[in-house]
Amino acid sequence: MTLHAPLIIDIAGLTLSKVDRERLLHPLVGGMILFARNWQDRAQLTALCRSIKKLRPDLLISVDHEGGRVQRFKTDGFTHLPPMRALGEMWLAEAKAKTHAGPLDATNAATACGYVLGAELRAGGVDLSFTPVLDLDYGASGVIGDRAFGRDPRVVSLLAKSVMQGLLQSGMANCGKHFPGHGFVKADSHTDIPIDRRSLKAILADDAAPYRWLSTSMTSVMPAHVIYPKIDSRPAGFSSKWLNDVLRGQMGFTGAIFSDDLTMEGAKVAGSTLDGALAALHGDLEPWRHDPLAERMGERVRLREALVAQMVQWAGHLESLADPAMRRLISGQIARIKALILRFEQAIAGLLAEAPELAQREKLLRSAPGVGPIVAATLLAPLSANQATAAADAPPCAVCSTLPRCPS
């Protein structure tokens, strides 16, 4: 079953609160991501994942769990995986009789790392880890650094493919990141807006090469919040040139695309978090932030179109479902979507009555293509206790009880 529910969100604590449950039931939510704050021990993680799947079996439970310094779960039996640079160093080391070194030992170790990583997460109920990192290590980027296998794109590709093989053996998919390459720039996209001024030819020949070589092995890709001005003025994750023309068109990639964290500084060039989500879903379609009415129209039309597409997909699969519980779940979601679409239609009609000149833009938005088949806008804002309380106290949408900005 392919359901278009493009948002990946997070939760604040170790268990699901009432607000968490309401948000996870929202029709546009397709999954959630776990952080270290959601981890206490193996039993708690398993119980949390079980409660999420009981709420909605179709939700994707994901995590950033690469090894090294990016590993969310490190205690209660979870293996401390090495940073990926260690595998690259093993590849380059001279093989000796009593040591494991050289390319073949390195690829074997990479497969073992992928299997352990995936098997331990799957045993706890996690569906996907956003790994492996395909960035090249130029020695300047602190945020990438030892997360990268190395500098040579050929070595990076073969070690990454070995990790993917291990993940596959454990029953887990993979995610190559950060397309087309974050390793060249020094700035950290979590706190800055990195700009890579190289040409398209230079990037494709080096940093982006692993994505071409692994296009049939990757199940998903995460673009970088980096601007490459000689190609596009927008970050790669918001650029149809990068996602449609290069990744899908030139490289033939047909899997899922997950945006990186939309609360990162590198994503704020799109505007608000909502603007970022819409930009990630629609690529070239620029928000009209200079015209408040047009901006409001854009938000509502895009979200309405996403809801309509999802409702059509869900309704088409409803008759083929034999499980009564799943039929009730999908029927309830369809009812929620219908109510939301009606609210959006009413809000759009109100805006058109206020500004008839927006009618042409409304038609353009209604027919605009995305960067499908699946593009997930990843909303990864860590919630502090105070933020969680504020969210719980916020006035809910009258229809879905979750998003205050739904239609009006």
Active-site residue set:
190, 260
Q: How many CB atoms lie within 10 A of CB 197?
A: 11
Q: DSSP assignment of 93-138, as one string? A: SPP-TTS--SHHHHHHHHHHHHHHHHHHHHHHT--EE---B-----
- d(C-alpha 266, C-alpha 226), whole Å: 7
HSE-up of residue 44 (Cα within 13 Å, Cβ side)? 14
- d(C-alpha 72, C-alpha 37), whole Å: 9
Pair 26, 402: CB distance under 8 Å: yes
CB-based contacts of 404, cutoff 8 Å, min separation 6: 394, 395, 396, 397
Task: Name the residue among 118, 112, 110, 155 with its Cα closest to residue 135.
Answer: 155
Length of the chain: 408
- d(C-alpha 195, C-alpha 18), whole Å: 41
Pair 64, 34: CB distance under 8 Å: no
Pair 156, 202: CB distance under 8 Å: no
Pair 362, 348: CB distance under 8 Å: yes
Pair 262, 273: CB distance under 8 Å: yes
